[in-house]
Amino acid sequence: MEAAWSAADTEVFARYGDAFVPHRRAQIDIVCRLLADIPVPRVLDLCCGEGLLSEEYLRRQPDAEVLLFDGSADMLAAAERRLERFRPRFSAVQADIADRGWRSATRFGGVMTSLAVHHLDGAGKRELYRDLCSMLEPGGMFVMADLIEPAGPLAKNLAADEWDSAVRSASRELYGSDEAAEVFEREEWNYFRLPGPDPLDRPSSVAEHLTWLAEAGFVEVDVVWLYAGHAVFTARKP
């Protein structure tokens, strides 16, 4: 998997992520609600970043356990610091999402992920979905919040406009100014404004995700939230 994400990107996202991700808290809430009733309260947080999903899930589910997974040692360390009060209910593993060595016979009640799978190409996504389905207990849930590829230029322009608007609104709410919005624009963070192709961001369409998830063996495949080119998908293993 091509590495284009830099330490500077990590620093910017860690500082401004709450503004850069449209309605971030709403997305986290939806993911946790979809994982509230899984066969066993053991969840894989795929590309956990700083651990925001795991923090909220562990807070809501006092008997749950989480395996933190990320390719960045710095992100795993940040997540472990964030989750310190939940020890020993989490563990961590460092690996690249594109590798298959970590996709073992370990069974989970749920898998959650945010802003990670779009870094894989189409073939990589299809392979990942098949492997994740095999790693879930019967009745287990896969929940993904991610960037999607609009089907045409009109939808792409709308997604770009909505994203810019969401960041401006969040920046004023969180910082009392356009500080985050100015960084968002300066760093060219809005994927939908870029001419492409992008070496790191390779989102797929909603239709492609739904098709590939169904092909992998999932049922009840659906999109439960969509805004500014960001979507939350859900799928259940039979």
Burial track 133-160 (b if 16+ CB lie within 10 A, e otherwise): bebbeeebbbbbbbbbbbeeeeebeebb
According to the model, what pLDDT value does residue 4 have? 53
Contact 203, 191 (CB under 8 A): yes
What's this model's pTM, rounded to 2 decimal places?
A: 0.95
Q: pLDDT tens, position by position, for the chain (238 residues)?
A: 344 556 777 889 989 999 999 999 999 999 999 999 999 999 999 999 999 999 999 999 999 999 999 999 999 999 999 999 999 999 999 999 999 999 986 799 999 999 999 999 999 999 999 999 999 999 999 999 999 999 999 999 999 999 999 999 999 999 999 999 999 999 999 999 998 778 889 999 999 999 999 999 999 999 999 999 999 999 999 9
Distance, CA of 161 to CA of 35 (rounded, Å) = 31
Closest to 53 measured CA to CA, from 77, 74, 33, 73: 33
Report pLDDT for 213.
Answer: 98
Q: Which domains does the chain have, with CATH numbers?
A: 7-149+199-236 (3.40.50.150), 153-193 (no CATH)
